């Protein structure tokens, strides 16, 4: 017997149908990829999504075919999702942050037939187009005006939609039909596909709508920063239309300033993002003294939320943070940190402890902890074990059966996370199983230590990895990225951890680093950190007499063994955290004892210019040098001798597109042409110009009174020089107009009489060059008139008009040429893999009007050249001098060298922070006095010290090559 209720398949098209019928006028606001803010409604999106379905049918797509999207969070992306899923095809979200080889693998594995892409990602697709044979069409999510031919044969989205009908029946397939496909980021092995069904997405939507989960409502305005290309934007593209919330889609701009602007202008009440996004927002708010006037709740997940973020949101902005955990395999929400009744009854500080945990499972998710043998472990808040998960929106098998059987005998999926669950049922992730630190046969949670360390007021980001130790197998090493402008010592951090973690968990060392790398999905990339720290030797390992042998445990660590802590088995705590005095005060090295050592380059061998100024040898590193430089350890400092300059190879610096540019590196970057403003334009007219005019009566001094009327007219005519002369006077004014505009703009901005926007507006006004062109024509006419009207008398003036007009026009042609030969960027850096950022002080100095400094900027759409391409790639191609510089010197010497180079270049120093290895300065352009800011970063490198530079304009106009030449000049000074 069966129940007697209606058969209503749970398919996701019904969600948008519902939104159209019951929340039709509710808005979807987008910061479009093309730039402007656009507005639409659920009703419109519904109609357009149906057109998408018809377009797909027209292109031959059938039920079950995979159609991919490579796109930011925008209304068009939502239309595409529903258009694909509604007609029964599978929407495969591609993550643009993956390496291109991974993208190629994924597209081929999924056998995608069409890719819908934003303009931003066309360069990626152009690069891989011939490696993805199953893809028949690429549809660019833009209109005809912005369409480009970067990928041959690509189709224009808006043009296709214009031609398609909105009449299309959705559904008609069973609820277990596939709806979406998303690949795991695949840190080990190939990425694996998770194939969501309509039913699983529908159920996930219902669950996330719950008050104790996302809890969004019709009255909310929701800004999903979490991308639709990773883990389905946590289901928000389903739950927001399901409840009728207003949606605000951030498009490609995810920096603090852009997100803040949307939060305020659209009065957002709810948002969701990974911790790094919130970190950027909070930094922006601090730097600009910004407010959050409408935001009430944020959900943070993807990686563990640092306490400092929760506190700052709560205490400074009155925003409630809930912590969520999930994964691609769980659709993705698995747990949410909303309090139960017992926790809600606690005071705010006690509740905070639970807020930092990952939360409770909602209905539809079941969790268990097991040990290596599969034995179920207790929920006591201390025993940690493998986290297993089960439910109707949890993966049952990867796409195409990859990985084989992935569920245990009870149907639970192994998340790869290690966790505890407390008596309230609140789960806490303690590690990824591959990151857990095995010390003396027992386990230490790297996540727990880094979460606490990240709460140190001076810390921006913290990461903990296990480092090989001869006695204990592995010991924790804490890496800290300090907030801009901060300095700290190892002891400060160890002291901060004391009492907050078990003594034997205490890191054996603290290393201050300029950057903690994040992977494609925004999580700390520990694999890369382990690679970077491969030569690092723990001071405790040195003490144990194993300085040479001990290296970071690399490659695939052995499968961890789950254990319940047994305190008596701990190694003696003292052995683990006793500070090693030798590590703090490296002795200066006597030069004679250490002759300059030839660097040991990897292949290909870099060019080496040996030199060894003795002054550097004698300079000891700063006393606190170990505070940011592991290089300063005695055991490693021996590798650094003299000041040999080494040009790094591109493979080492991972600079995008670098290989292509290597060939031109030697030639150097051509000096940027500059717009010459014509000098003082016009000599005073000669006094006797009118004296010999044959068109006028001779003027006899003293006879004026006796002149008749006709004579007086003739006299006026004589004085004015007649028609030809008047014409030439006017033409002269016309010829002067553009030059005067440029001069006024230049002087105005230079002396602060007008802001740069007005100043630049004056010279870039479209009609200024047109006037110049016109005045050339009038100048030519003037020459002809002069020929007929008396060349001796008017010729000089005519040629003056013509010459002046030609000079001005030449200036514009020259500027145009400069625009063509220089890329339209205003941000040049030597390292985009680990982008240099400005300190808060510098950000304040730049002011709120300045162009935002982004992690991964793109050339704006609408730019004539390179539009939509990553500035990183454009830099690599067009600025051969923007390459890191390796000095075979210690970091202190490199720092001194960089500082003197900045002074030589005439830059005005703003930050001088040897501990952080950071120098910042401001430059002013010669003619207009426009400001650009420069940050220099010095990092230890296996061959000495690495110097990186970034130069960013405050005005968002193309720099005509100025920043590239500035970096070239600085690097030149540093080399010499």
**Is the Cβ of residue 355 or residue 717 nearer to ligand AMP in the bound state?**
355
- For residue 429, the minimal CB distance to ligand AMP (Å) is 4
User: For the window 127-166, what string marks contact with ligand AMP as x by the rule CB under 6 A?
Assistant: ----------------------------------------
DSSP 3-state of 755? coil
Q: Using the rule CB under 6 A, which residue among 429, 772, 794, 879 binds ligand AMP?
A: 429
User: For the window 704-743, what string marks contact with ligand AMP as x by the rule CB under 6 A?
Assistant: ----------------------------------------
Taking CB under 6 A as the rule, does residue 304 contact ligand AMP? Answer: yes
- What residues have CB less than 8 Å from 372, skipping those under 6 apart? 386, 561, 562
- For residue 245, the minimal CB distance to ligand AMP (Å) is 23
- H-helix segments, 289-379: 307-317, 341-344, 348-355
- For residue 415, the minimal CB distance to ligand AMP (Å) is 5
Considering only the stretches 119-127, 322-330, 621-629, 782-790, report the one whose residues sit in contact with ligand AMP under the rule CB under 6 A. 322-330
CB burial of residue 391 (10 Å; 0-12, 13-18, 19+)? buried
**Is the Cβ of residue 243 or residue 277 nearer to ligand AMP in the bound state?**
277
Considering only the stretches 15-23, 410-418, 758-766, 900-908, report the one whose residues sit in contact with ligand AMP under the rule CB under 6 A. 410-418
Taking CB under 6 A as the rule, does residue 208 contact ligand AMP? Answer: no
**Is the Cβ of residue 451 or residue 808 nearer to ligand AMP in the bound state?**
451
- What residues have CB less than 8 Å from 666, skipping those under 6 apart? none
**Is the Cβ of residue 47 or residue 416 nearer to ligand AMP in the bound state?**
416
**Is the Cβ of residue 256 or residue 301 nearer to ligand AMP in the bound state?**
301
Among 667, 682, 610, which Cα is nearest to 641's? Answer: 610
Catalytic residue among 72, 234, 325, 443: 443
Helix, strand, coil percentages for the chain (3-state, nearest 5):
40, 20, 45
> Does residue 769 contact residue 809 with C-beta atoms inside 8 Å?
yes
Among 278, 274, 267, which Cα is nearest to 245's? Answer: 267
Among 717, 716, 730, which Cα is nearest to 782's? Answer: 730
| Count of residues touching ligand AMP (by CB under 6 A) | 22
**Is the Cβ of residue 443 or residue 838 nearer to ligand AMP in the bound state?**
443
Per residue in 643-677, is it b (16+ CB within 10 Å) or e — as a string?
Answer: bbbbbbbbebbebbbbeebbeeeeeebeebebbeb
Among 203, 235, 389, 379, which Cα is nearest to 299's? Answer: 235
Distance in angstroms (rounded) separating the CA atoms of residues 640 and 895: 14
**Is the Cβ of residue 327 or residue 804 nearer to ligand AMP in the bound state?**
327
Q: Using the rule CB under 6 A, which residue among 15, 49, 226, 327 binds ligand AMP?
A: 327
Among 296, 266, 269, 387, which Cα is nearest to 334's? Answer: 387
Taking CB under 6 A as the rule, does residue 358 contact ligand AMP? Answer: yes
Catalytic annotation present for 184: yes
Taking CB under 6 A as the rule, does residue 309 contact ligand AMP? Answer: no
Considering only the stretches 325-333, 341-349, 551-559, 923-931, report the one whose residues sit in contact with ligand AMP under the rule CB under 6 A. 325-333
Distance in angstroms (rounded) separating the CA atoms of residues 683 and 691: 18
Considering only the stretches 24-32, 256-264, 327-335, 396-404, report the one whose residues sit in contact with ligand AMP under the rule CB under 6 A. 327-335
Q: Using the rule CB under 6 A, which residue among 184, 644, 775, 778 binds ligand AMP?
A: 184
Catalytic residue among 175, 261, 266, 329: 329
Catalytic residue among 50, 253, 438, 481: 438
Catalytic annotation present for 329: yes
Residues 815-854 that bind ligand AMP (CB under 6 A): none
Catalytic residue among 184, 221, 430, 911: 184
Q: Using the rule CB under 6 A, which residue among 54, 80, 303, 911 binds ligand AMP?
A: 303
- For residue 329, the minimal CB distance to ligand AMP (Å) is 6
Taking CB under 6 A as the rule, does residue 446 contact ligand AMP? Answer: no
User: For the window 213-252, what string marks contact with ligand AMP as x by the rule CB under 6 A?
Assistant: ------------------x---------------------
Catalytic annotation present for 286: no
DSSP 97-138: TS-HHHHHHHHHHHT-SEEEE-GGGHHHHHHHGGG-TT--EE
CA geometry: angle at 408 spanning 407 and 414, to 5°? Answer: 65
Taking CB under 6 A as the rule, does residue 190 contact ligand AMP? Answer: no
- For residue 335, the minimal CB distance to ligand AMP (Å) is 8
Positive or negative, the CA dihedral 866, 871, 874, 879 is: positive
- For residue 230, the minimal CB distance to ligand AMP (Å) is 7
CA distances from 239 to 217, 218, 702 (A): 9, 10, 96
Taking CB under 6 A as the rule, does residue 301 contact ligand AMP? Answer: yes
Q: Using the rule CB under 6 A, which residue among 185, 351, 489, 551 binds ligand AMP?
A: 185
Taking CB under 6 A as the rule, does residue 97 contact ligand AMP? Answer: no
Taking CB under 6 A as the rule, does residue 415 contact ligand AMP? Answer: yes
Considering only the stretches 65-73, 300-308, 698-706, 877-885, report the one whose residues sit in contact with ligand AMP under the rule CB under 6 A. 300-308
Residues 497-536 that bind ligand AMP (CB under 6 A): 521, 523
Residues 329-348 that bind ligand AMP (CB under 6 A): 332
Give 185-191 contacts, CB < 8 A, sequence gap 24+: 185/95, 185/98, 185/328, 185/519, 185/520, 185/521, 186/102, 187/519, 187/527, 188/434, 188/556, 190/105, 190/109, 190/402, 191/98, 191/102, 191/105, 191/106, 191/109
Considering only the stretches 25-33, 297-305, 565-573, 926-934, report the one whose residues sit in contact with ligand AMP under the rule CB under 6 A. 297-305
Taking CB under 6 A as the rule, does residue 432 contact ligand AMP? Answer: yes
**Is the Cβ of residue 355 or residue 797 nearer to ligand AMP in the bound state?**
355
- The DSSP bridge pattern shows strands 270-273 and 137-140 to be unpaired
CA 200 to chain centre: 32
CA 884 to chain centre: 19
CB burial of residue 104 (10 Å; 0-12, 13-18, 19+)? middle
- H-helix segments, 396-505: 446-454, 490-497
Half-sphere exposure in the Cβ direction for 388 (13 Å, CA): 20
User: For the window 462-501, what string marks contact with ligand AMP as x by the rule CB under 6 A?
Assistant: ----------------------------------------
Among 216, 221, 168, 456, which Cα is nearest to 336's? Answer: 216
**Is the Cβ of residue 298 or residue 947 nearer to ligand AMP in the bound state?**
298
- For residue 324, the minimal CB distance to ligand AMP (Å) is 6
DSSP 3-state of 719? helix
- The DSSP bridge pattern shows strands 944-953 and 931-941 to be antiparallel
Considering only the stretches 54-62, 318-326, 491-499, 839-847, report the one whose residues sit in contact with ligand AMP under the rule CB under 6 A. 318-326
Q: How many CB atoms lie within 10 A of CB 222?
A: 23
CA geometry: angle at 846 spanning 843 and 847, to 5°? Answer: 95
Write out 857-923 in H/E/C secondary structure: CECCCCCCCCCCCEHHHHHHHHCCCCCCEEEECCHHHHHHHHHHHHHHCCCEEEEEECCCCEEEEEE
Q: Using the rule CB under 6 A, which residue among 82, 183, 278, 325 binds ligand AMP?
A: 325
Taking CB under 6 A as the rule, does residue 93 contact ligand AMP? Answer: no
Among 409, 247, 224, which Cα is nearest to 332's? Answer: 224
Residue identified by tokens 């919130």 is 278
Find residue 932's DSSP bridge partners: 923, 953
**Is the Cβ of residue 42 or residue 229 nearer to ligand AMP in the bound state?**
229
Catalytic residue IDs: 184, 329, 438, 443
Residues interacting with ligand AMP, by CB under 6 A?
A: 184-185, 231, 301-304, 323-328, 332, 358, 415-417, 429, 432, 521, 523
């Amino acid at each position: 017997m069966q129940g007697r209720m209606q058969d209503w398949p749970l398919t996701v098209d019904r969600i948008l149908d519902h939104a159209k019928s019951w929340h039709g006028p509710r808005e979807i606001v987008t910061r479009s990829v093309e730039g402007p803010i656009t507005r639409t409604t659920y009703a419109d999106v519904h109609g357009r999504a149906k057109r998408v379905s018809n377009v797909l049918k027209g292109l031959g797509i059938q039920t079950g075919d995979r159609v991919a999207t490579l796109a930011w969070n925008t209304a068009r992306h939502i239309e595409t999702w529903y258009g694909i899923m509604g007609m029964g095809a599978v929407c495969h979200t591609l993550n643009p942050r993956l390496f291109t080889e991974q993208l190629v693998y994924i597209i081929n594995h999924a056998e995608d037939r069409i890719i819908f892409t934003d303009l931003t990602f066309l360069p990626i697709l152009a690069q891989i187009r011939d490696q993805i044979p199953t893809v028949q069409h690429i549809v660019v999510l833009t209109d005809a005006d912005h369409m480009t031919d970067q990928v041959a044969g690509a189709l224009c989205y808006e043009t296709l939609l214009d031609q398609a009908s909105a009449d299309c029946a959705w559904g008609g397939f069973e609820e277990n039909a596939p709806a979406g496909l998303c690949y795991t980021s695949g840190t080990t092995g190939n990425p694996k596909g998770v194939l969501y069904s309509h039913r699983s997405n529908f159920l996930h939507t219902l669950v996330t709508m719950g008050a104790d989960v996302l809890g969004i409502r019709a009255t909310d305005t929701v800004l999903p920063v979490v991308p639709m290309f990773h883990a389905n934007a946590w289901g928000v593209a389903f739950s927001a239309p399901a409840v009728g919330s207003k949606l605000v889609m951030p498009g490609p701009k995810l920096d603090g300033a852009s997100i803040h602007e949307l939060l305020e202008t659209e009065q957002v009440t709810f948002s969701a993002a990974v911790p790094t996004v919130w970190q950027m927002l909070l930094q922006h708010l601090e730097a600009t003294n910004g407010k959050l006037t409408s935001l009430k709740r944020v959900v943070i997940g993807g990686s563990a939320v640092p306490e400092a973020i929760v506190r700052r949101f709560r205490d400074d902005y009155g925003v409630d943070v809930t912590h969520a955990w999930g994964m691609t395999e769980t659709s993705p929400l698995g747990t949410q940190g909303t309090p139960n009744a017992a926790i809600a009854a606690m005071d705010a500080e006690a509740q905070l402890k639970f807020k930092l945990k990952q939360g409770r499972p909602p209905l539809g998710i079941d969790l268990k902890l097991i040990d290596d043998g599969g034995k179920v472990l207790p929920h006591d808040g201390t025993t940690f074990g493998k986290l297993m998960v089960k439910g109707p929106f949890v993966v049952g098998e990867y796409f195409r059966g990859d990985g084989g059987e992935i569920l245990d005998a009870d149907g639970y999926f192994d998340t790869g996370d290690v966790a505890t669950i407390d008596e309230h049922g609140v789960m806490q992730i303690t590690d990824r199983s591959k990151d857990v630190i095995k010390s003396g046969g027992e386990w230490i949670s790297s996540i727990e230590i880094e979460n606490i360390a990240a709460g140190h007021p001076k810390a921006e980001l913290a990461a903990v990895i296990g480092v090989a130790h001869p006695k204990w197998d592995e010991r924790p090493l804490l890496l800290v990225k300090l907030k801009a402008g901060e300095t700290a010592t190892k002891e400060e951090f160890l002291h901060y951890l004391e009492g907050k973690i078990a003594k034997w968990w205490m890191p054996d060392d603290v290393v201050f680093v300029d950057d903690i790398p994040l992977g494609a999905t925004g999580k700390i990339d520990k694999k890369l950190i382990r690679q970077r720290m491969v030569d690092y030797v723990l001071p405790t390992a040195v003490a144990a007499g194993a300085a040479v042998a001990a290296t970071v445990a690399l490659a695939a660590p052995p499968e961890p063994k789950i254990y319940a802590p047994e305190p008596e088995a701990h190694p003696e705590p003292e052995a683990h955290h006793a500070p090693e005095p030798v590590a703090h005060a490296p002795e200066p090295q006597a030069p004679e004892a250490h002759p300059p050592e030839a660097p040991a380059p990897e292949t290909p061998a870099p060019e080496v210019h040996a030199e060894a100024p003795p002054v550097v040898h004698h300079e000891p590193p700063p006393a606190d040098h170990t505070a940011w430089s592991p290089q300063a350890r005695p055991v490693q400092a021996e590798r650094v001798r003299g000041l040999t300059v080494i040009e790094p190879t591109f493979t080492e610096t991972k600079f995008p597109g670098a290989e292509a540019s290597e060939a031109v590196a030697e030639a150097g970057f051509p000096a940027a042409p500059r717009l010459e403003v014509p000098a003082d334009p016009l000599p005073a007219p000669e006094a006797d110009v009118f004296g010999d005019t044959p068109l006028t009566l001779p003027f006899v001094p003293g006879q004026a009174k006796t002149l008749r009327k006709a004579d007086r007219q003739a006299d006026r005519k004589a004085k004015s020089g007649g028609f030809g002369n008047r014409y030439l006077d006017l033409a002269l004014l016309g010829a002067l107009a553009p030059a005067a505009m440029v001069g006024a703009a230049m002087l105005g901005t230079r002396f602060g009489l007008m802001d740069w926007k007005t100043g630049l507006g004056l010279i870039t006004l479209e009609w200024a060059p047109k006037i110049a062109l016109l005045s050339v024509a009038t100048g030519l006419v003037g020459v002809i008139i002069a020929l007929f009207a008396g060349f001796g008398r008017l010729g000089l003036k005519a040629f003056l008009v013509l010459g002046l007009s030609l000079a001005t026009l030449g200036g514009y042609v020259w500027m145009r040429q400069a625009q063509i030969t220089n890329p339209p960027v205003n941000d040049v850096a030597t390292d985009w893999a680990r982008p240099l950022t400005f300190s808060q002080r510098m950000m304040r100095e730049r002011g709120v009007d300045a162009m935002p400094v982004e992690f991964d900027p793109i050339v704006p759409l609408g730019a004539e050249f390179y539009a939509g391409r990553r500035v990183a790639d454009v830099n690599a191609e067009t600025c051969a001098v923007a390459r890191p510089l390796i000095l075979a010197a210690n970091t202190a010497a490199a720092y001194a060298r960089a500082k003197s180079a900045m002074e030589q270049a005439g830059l005005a120093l703003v930050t001088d922070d040897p501990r952080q290895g950071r120098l910042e300065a401001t430059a002013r352009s010669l003619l207009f006095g426009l400001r650009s800011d420069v940050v220099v970063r010095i990092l230890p490198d296996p061959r000495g010290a690495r110097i990186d530079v970034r130069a960013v304009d405050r005005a968002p106009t193309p720099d005509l090559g100025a920043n590239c030449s500035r970096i070239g000049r600085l690097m030149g000074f540093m080399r010499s």
